[in-house]
Chains A and B, each alone.
Chain A
């Protein structure tokens, strides 16, 4: 049977304000339980919300970043449900008039193909607290530090057709949010969270199948795994003559499966209504223009500039602009070394490999961009070969001395002195009479082997071009 997968994502990001959406409580991560929960967050009678200007600004900034419509007049609503980590008995959210309307972003797949994914809307709302279910002699512990933290919920159109597309979308969203600097967006810490709406339908049909909503996905990897599991489950269910039930399912990363959350006795019925404690939020053109002026160059634009300005391939540019920090790092190396192509290779291969190996962020790199630029300069001016540069790079990890000092201390300068290279070449010729014979008999490719021998003998320090030339001359002369 030929099935098509349909996915829409709901992504929550915690906006990186210093205070909460509606109260003056701090939002620092990891504080003592309930030390950042004031009378409004606890829903004590008579307390009233006042909207945080920075949270509004960040929401608008996001909207402008994805080219979305901005709600000139947005309205907060109450979403009603009872849970102990939501003391008010309702979450303040936005339903009919969100701050951000229709927009889109473009994703790039591994094969280089591009696809535009629609964004339905994005709205401001407050986060809930946390429930701790263990160890309180039959009671549940409630920490309300997170309650009231500003969230932006970003809802995609059901435009995604595979788990891979969903991951590409999420990564692009993450990248834009980091460029805009409106959230840490760290999935493992919960400052970026993702719910996936998944359904399948027979290829060619127009109507959507019944969808399930998967919650509790806390890494990019798990997004792919959870969706793939759920798609397989729905296919098997339908092919066995069953029906998909609309429900919320939890992803269990340990077992790599989704399972039904014990369905609440009454289906979600949130009875939204306008929040009477908050007035409509009205913003004018001047406000929007002021925020527009603060927008940084975003990844798509920056990638295009890398292609035109530094002559990078689309692929390299795409890798380098994935995070703002990486793009900044690359530009420092490219401009500092004067060789963008070498800079791109070193950053996207050696540096990125190093970071991945140690699970470091680029900000944690032991090698600063300027030092990498210095290293590349020494390759360019012939002081060291590209191969020796890798050795220097390794040393730079735990040696904070300058690149030149490391090269000098380890005696790694490339040997360009003709006398020294002649000696090398003579040794290689006398050690390998057979190969020399073959070369003279016209077997050109043997030269590679002989140059390799000379390089080995010099511990990589000889200039390979010089070795090649001298070898040829000497062998032809005799």
Chain B
């Protein structure tokens, strides 16, 4: 399965990555190579194999429902480019 430039553009947009035109061909080729490997893997008979959700053969541990975190807003907002009235400020987004 070969990928073309427009598909690269779509995936790049979804991932918010900037891939310029000159790079797109190269990226398309590389992804096509990866897909070829996946095609090869898909020829393996997996009918009786349960899907793997995680490579480790252990199960999730649980945490007691206790509010352990303290209010660190002042400290954490020092990391933010902009904040006001306790809110983090970001460039305008509208639906």
Contacts and interface: CB of A to CB of B under 8 A. Distances in A.
Given A143-B87, A262-B95, A281-B59, A96 B51 contact: yes
A17 B65 contact: yes
Interface residues of A, number: 57
Nearest to B58: A279
Given A26-B69, A140-B90, A75 B53 contact: yes
B65 A266 contact: no
Given A39-B76, A141-B85, A54 B65 contact: yes
Contacts of B77: 34
Contacts of B85: 33, 141
B60 A280 contact: yes
A279 B67 contact: no
Interface residues of B, number: 39
Contacts of A50: 61-63
B65 A19 contact: yes
| B interface, over-half SS | loop
| A interface, over-half SS | loop
Contact of A279 (B56, B63, B93): B56
A35 interface: yes
A280 to B, nearest CB: 5
Interface stretch (A131-139, A157-165, A383-391): A131-139
B41 interface: no
A24 B59 contact: no
A279 B87 contact: no
A310 interface: no
B92 A32 contact: no
A46 interface: no
Contacts of B59: 279-282
A220 interface: no
A141 B87 contact: yes
B62 A53 contact: yes
A144 B54 CA distance: 29
Contact of B86 (A32, A55, A80, A281): A32
A3 interface: no
Nearest to B55: A276
A439 B38 CA distance: 100
A417 interface: no
Given A140-B90, A266-B10, A36 B71 contact: yes
B35 interface: no
A269 interface: yes
Interface string B40-84: 000000000001011010111111111111011100110100101
Contact of A84 (B53, B54, B66, B93): B93
Contact of A141 (B54, B60, B72, B84): B84
11 contacts: A23-B69, A25-B69, A34-B88, A84-B90, A138-B92, A139-B84, A142-B87, A266-B14, A279-B56, A280-B60, A282-B60
